[in-house]
Amino acid sequence: MVITPLSIRRGVGGEAFFSLFMRGLVIKNTGSWYTVKAENGKNIDCKIKGNFRLKGIRSTNPVAVGDHVVITPNKEGTAFITEIEDRRNYIIRKSPNLSKQSHIIAANIDQAFLVVTINYPETSTTFIDRFLAGAEAYRVPVTLVFNKHDLLSEEELRYQHAVMKLYETIGYECIEVQATNDTSNEFSVEKLNPLLANKITLLSGNSGVGKSTIINALLPHVNLRTADISDAHNTGMHTTTFSEMLELPVGGYLIDTPGIKGFGTFDIEREELTSYFREIFKFSEHCKFSNCTHTHEPGCAVRKAVEDHYISESRYNSYLSMLEDKEENKYREAF
């Protein structure tokens, strides 16, 4: 991704030319202002100087948290962002009202924690699988964090353990926590600290699963707004409205995303979709046809593996539903 500043205007007398340039990391985005942690360790409020144009995507915010930028401090103690370095990756969300516009949620992330709840609200396996497939496409490692352990009945816990087993077998790390209770029990969110240390981690998951609550438990001084479940249908409401990276005591940053549904927009070929489902990919090597879609073809090793219970039906159904979206060209709207 290349971002080119169209114009770096200079003040009368050309101050920009003489001012100091510093590198920094964007840690907060409130819409019009950005907070940049400069290389001198100070947090500086910044605005964008000139117009930034992004190749390929039209975005409501050209700069996002996680961006490495060059800033030019001015007399007032604030600064202008004059350059953005190339991104390793970024996550965007389509604006619901402005067509073709998207919002960059975060850039340069090292890993994602997908917070899921078996109940209150229920996270579907389809949602988990779509998120995991997107993360595979972006090569972002994912840990599944099963929250609200304290609320689950024995039966729900048994189901949770079966779901964990499924994803662990595929190769995803799973952790059970409860964010609201005290830190002294075995499900304390402090278990997450060793995995978070010195990394930029995106915290994702449906609204109401407890992302902000987890952050508050890890960073008591932050005190993000959390919401009570908004109605009887166990659906939460979006209470987080801007992006921020929160510095962790163990080093690294956490990004609380405002109701982000997944990674995108990504255009993938049918053959590629297979490779974003790790276990399906493994079996697909034995399919008779190399371009097998695992739907109707003879000699399909994937469908055989589903029949023999080596591949779970829920995963296979998620694969099929993504394939269907692809065929109906729904992909771009899906995120």
Which CB atom, from 106 or from 292, has the smaller least distance to Mg ion? 106
> Does the annotation list 309 as a binding residue?
no
Give the number of residues in contact with Mg ion, rule: CB under 5 A.
3
Range in contact with ligand GTP (rule: CB under 6 A) among 19-27, 37-45, 94-102, 146-154: 146-154
What's the 3-state SS for the chain?
Answer: CCEEECCCCCCCCCHHHHCCCEEEEEEEECCCCEEEEECCCCEEEEEECCCEEECCCEECCCCCECCEEEEEECCCCCEEEEEECCCCCEEEEECCCCCCEEEEEEECCCEEEEEECCCCCCCCHHHHHHHHHHHHHCCCCEEEEECCHHHCCHHHHHHHHHHHHHHHHHCCEEEECCCCCCCCCCCCHHHHHHHHCCEEEEEECCCCCCHHHHHHHHCCCCCCCCCCCCCCCCCCCCCCCCEEEEECCCCEEEEECCCCCCCCCCCCCHHHHHHCCHHHHHHHCCCCCCCCCCCCCCCCHHHHHHHCCCCCHHHHHHHHHHHHHHHCCCHHHHC
Which CB atom, from 71 or from 300, has the smaller least distance to Zn ion? 300
Which CB atom, from 78 or from 230, has the smaller least distance to ligand GTP? 230
Which CB atom, from 231 or from 308, has the smaller least distance to ligand GTP? 231
> Does the annotation list 284 as a binding residue?
no
Token code pair at residue 67:
């961006």
| Binder among 76, 186, 228, 308 for ligand GTP (CB under 6 A) | 228
Q: Which of residues 248-307 bind Zn ion (CB under 5 A)?
A: 287, 292, 294, 300, 302
**CB of residue 172 vs Mg ion: minimum separation in angstroms?**
23
147 interacts with Mg ion by CB under 5 A: no
Which CB atom, from 76 or from 182, has the smaller least distance to ligand GTP? 182
Which CB atom, from 120 or from 310, has the smaller least distance to Zn ion? 310
Q: Which of residues 155-214 bind ligand GTP (CB under 6 A)?
A: 178-180, 205, 207-213
108 interacts with Mg ion by CB under 5 A: no
How many Cβ atoms from other residues are within 10 Å of residue 156's Cβ?
A: 17
Q: Which of residues 203-262 bind Mg ion (CB under 5 A)?
A: 211-212, 240
**CB of residue 253 vs ligand GTP: minimum separation in angstroms?**
17
> Does the annotation list 300 as a binding residue?
yes
* Residue number of the CB atom closest to ligand GTP: 210
Q: Are 28 and 244 in contact (CB under 8 A)?
A: yes
Binding positions are: 147-150, 205-213, 287, 292, 294, 300
Instruction: Enumerate binding residues for ligand GTP (CB under 6 A).
Output: 147-148, 150-151, 178-180, 205, 207-213, 226-229, 236-240, 259
Instruction: Enumerate binding residues for Mg ion (CB under 5 A).
Output: 211-212, 240
Binding positions for GTP are: 147-150, 205-213
